[in-house]
Structure 1
Amino acid sequence: MISSDDSTGAPRKPEGKCKAMVVCFILGLGSLVSWNSMLTIGDYYYEVFPWNLATSGKGGIVAYIGILVAAACFGIAGGHVEGGMVGDLCFMCPEFIQSYLAGFAASGALTSLLRMLTKLAFEKSHNGLRKGAILFLAISTFIEFLCIFLYSICFTKLPIVKYYRSKAALEGSKTVSADLAAAGIQTKTHDHDLVGYDNKHGERLSKKQLFLENLDYAATLFLIFLVTLSIFPGFLYENTGSHQLGTWYPIVLITMYNVVDLISRYIPLVQWLKLESRKGLLIVSLSRFLLIPAFYFTAKYGDQGWMIVLTSFLALTNGYLTVCVLTVAPRGYKGPEQNALGNLLVLSLLCGICSGAILDWLWLIGKGTF
């Protein structure tokens, strides 16, 4: 039971913020480790499944379809987890969202490091590429199970998490009923299409109204990931040419991206470096379209050093802008609205990822790959 600190019955805010931030970081890492595992062993897929699909590749069409099904399952699971967690954390303090998003980037950095180590360990052994990929996937699977137990045993039972969920429930949230029952707090029942009250006008706010009020934030997230996924990781495997690093070159680029992406997600913690202007965030996200021709001409005329710099800048803007949007957007709303807004923004983010991944295939036009 969480005690109250005033006559209104509002629960007293407990300590444990730092512990919760650490847990959020680890959960963010686990949320994307499977997805990043699929991306990071791209060199193995390119060996087993050449893009000449007419011959079914060395791995066979059945195995190829199996990989596609597994990737689809990762996408479905990832979408549910990201939407649920971001919605949950949006009605908590902004540092929780920042830590969770930093964990996203950490999963990429960790998988890149593990992939480099496994590739190095098995590079000269017989069938080493396959052995390294299997070991790498086994480690990633262990991390996934660890995060499942961490969430069920630790996160949901943290006093500060119970505090924020209880606070959101007092404001009308329906998604935390289990924790409310444990805290002995009753929730109010709302219509299925209403998520709370508009703090600006004191009127009930539908999900559609909430989305329209934050359309610029949704568009910003969509554009961020549309540009990023139209370049990363497909372009970095297909269009970077031959360089001194040889087969290590794409892996180095992927690793560089993930490391810089991780670092960039901590920049908004410095308040004067955080971009909070709605118009500013949208303008900067639109300006990132210039990266597409920049990558094209760098791959065609530049050397590997310039490509590494450009990849780092892509990662820097991706991580920084994502954290800025998701920590600023929920301000000014109550718990139910923040929860719903988090879900809507993740939906926009995932639509951007999907659209960017589709556009990523445009780099193959004219290469004679198929």
Structure 2
Amino acid sequence: MAGGDLETAAGVSAPLLPPPASSLADEPAAPPADRLGVGYLVFFTLGAGFLLPWNAFITAVDYFAFLYPGAPVDRVFSVAYMLSCLLPLLLIVLCFPKSSSPARINTGLALFTLALLVVPAMDAAYVKGRPGMYGAFDITVAATVLCGAADALVQGGVIGFAGELPERYMQAVVAGTAASRCGVLVSAMRVFTKALYPQDAHGLRQSANLYFIVGIVVMIMCIVCYNVAGKLPVVMYYKNIKKRAQKADVGGGMTGPAWRSTLWSIVGTVKWYGIGIIFIYAITLSIFPGFITEDVHSEALKDWYPILLISAYNVFDLIGKALPAVYFLPNANIAVAGSFARLLFYPLFYGCLHGPSFFRTEIPVTILTCLLGLTNGYLTCILMTLAPKAVPIHHSETAGIVIVLFLVVGLVVGSFVSWFWVI
């Protein structure tokens, strides 16, 4: 399967790219220590930030379902968001390889903030909690499209940034994505607001607006964190290594045929990591959140059921993304094989709809949802961390962006496959 390619990437065979910059003779003996874990916390916050806007939209599903009855809100949001994320990523990789990473990330964070302002502002000025205003639904979908474009700018840049640093910083970013997904923050808020506010128009409206306000606050925090990150000693240390590696990379230009040749070498090196990521997210998004929120039901838990399932998924996704800090699987072949093995979730979840009566109860669905989150989190963290380390440090940012491109392809595929549960 991935054996030959991954061994080549690890340097067992002849390397596709120049030797890692860490071999340079003038490199200092050891990187600065991350005192008090500030660097880890900064990257964790950035990871939480770039998925929070998306999760604000899908977590407010109760309110949107009330406003726009009959509209498949989750699935429309998913397709709009993922497609609008894919095109900018392609443009960055193919057409703008020399574009400023700080400019991309700061612009993306500003666009996130703007998109999050749309829903509460429109609700206050136009919708005012009244159902059936489908023109507002179109504007809300447009806001998710804006979020998708911002995600391409921010996620690609942050993953590429972390890819130039030691593995613990990528693990921090990936764990942060789980926190924002939002097993710890937004899902907890959803449970809290559902218990606190009445489940009428006014209560749903207050809950949704709270999600978006929290998202805006976190975006401001991310802008501060990102601009602080570049000044951290450990980050400056690896930036200097990258600069020396770029000078030593004879013929490794960033324009024209030289860049295209380098790009295809990077893609060839990380392709199996990327294919694993595609399988992980195509399978996950084809099941979560659409199947979880719309296709399974509980007479006992009623409208609490999808909320509890989403929370269970998010908590176990966070656990999976935190586990590599305890045990990191170094074998990429096993991780890729594990991503393929997740295809077994399809017949199992199908059985929850059409299988034996016991299989259609809350316990099997909850167990499968937890396993879906756990495997999604752990395998994602392993592959996202290993991929940028398969190339020299001065190409790690590009490898990170390429892996994000694979990830978004998986999300787009999963968004479309999720419609088959409707058929």
TM-score normalised per structure 1: 0.84
Q: What amino acid sits opposite 1:134 in the alignment?
A: N
Structure-2 residue corresponding to 1:176: none
Q: Cα distance 1:126–1:75, how it changes in 2: closer, same or farther (>3 A)?
A: closer
Structure-2 residue corresponding to 1:39: 58
CA displacement 1:16-54 (0-9 Å, x = unmatched)? 26220111111111111111111111122212112259x
1:155-170 correspondence to structure 2 within 5 Å: 155-170=229-244
Shift of 1:243: 2.8
CA contact (8 A) 2:187 2:310 kept: yes
CA contact (8 A) 1:91 1:339 kept: yes
Gaps of 5+ in 2: 1-23, 73-129
Q: Does 1:263 align with 2:338?
A: no
Structure-1 residue corresponding to 2:91: none
Normalized per residue, which structure has more helix? Answer: 2
CA contact (8 A) 1:260 1:316 kept: yes
* Equivalent position to 1:242, from 273, 298, 303: 298
Q: What amino acid sits opposite 1:64 in the alignment?
A: F
Q: Does 1:147 align with 2:222?
A: yes
Shift of 1:266: 1.7
CA contact (8 A) 2:269 2:391 kept: no
Shift of 1:59: 3.0
**Distance in structure 1 (CA, Å) of the matches to 2:230 and 2:189:** 30
Q: What amino acid sits opposite 2:371 in the alignment?
A: F
**Distance in structure 2 (CA, Å) of the matches to 1:312 and 1:230:** 16
Q: Does 1:251 align with 2:269?
A: no
Secondary structure of residue in 2 paired with 1:246: coil
Question: Aligned-residue CA RMSD in angstroms?
Answer: 2.6
CA contact (8 A) 1:87 1:342 kept: yes
CA contact (8 A) 1:86 1:343 kept: yes
Gaps of 5+ in 1: 1-5, 174-185, 198-203, 366-370
Q: What amino acid sits opposite 1:358 in the alignment?
A: F
Q: What amino acid sits opposite 2:282 in the alignment?
A: L
1:1-370 correspondence to structure 2 within 5 Å: 8=26, 10=28, 13-16=31-34, 18-51=37-70, 58-107=131-180, 108-123=183-198, 127-152=202-227, 154-172=228-246, 190-193=252-255, 206-271=262-327, 274-300=328-354, 301-365=359-423
**Distance in structure 2 (CA, Å) of the matches to 1:331 and 1:254:** 33
**Distance in structure 2 (CA, Å) of the matches to 1:10 and 1:207:** 29
CA displacement 1:249-298 (0-9 Å, x = unmatched)? 11111111111100111212234xx3333332222111111101211212
**Distance in structure 2 (CA, Å) of the matches to 1:110 and 1:100:** 16
Secondary structure of residue in 2 paired with 1:157: coil
Q: What amino acid sits opposite 1:281 in the alignment?
A: A
Secondary structure of residue in 2 paired with 1:171: helix
**Distance in structure 2 (CA, Å) of the matches to 1:361 and 1:7:** 55
TM-score normalised per structure 2: 0.74
CA displacement 1:200-259 (0-9 Å, x = unmatched)? xxxx96110111122111100011000000000011111102331111111111111111
**Distance in structure 2 (CA, Å) of the matches to 1:42 and 1:304:** 21
Shift of 1:60: 2.5
CA contact (8 A) 1:21 1:99 kept: yes
**Distance in structure 2 (CA, Å) of the matches to 1:213 and 1:330:** 10
Q: Cα distance 1:165–1:227, how it changes in 2: closer, same or farther (>3 A)?
A: same
Secondary structure of residue in 1 paired with 2:192: helix
Secondary structure of residue in 2 paired with 1:123: coil
Structure-2 residue corresponding to 1:201: none
Comparing 133-142 and 298-307, the one that deviates more: 298-307
Q: What amino acid sits opposite 1:156 in the alignment?
A: G
CA contact (8 A) 2:269 2:390 kept: no
CA contact (8 A) 1:172 1:187 kept: yes
**Distance in structure 2 (CA, Å) of the matches to 1:196 and 1:157:** 31
**% identical equivalent positions:** 31
CA contact (8 A) 2:179 2:318 kept: yes
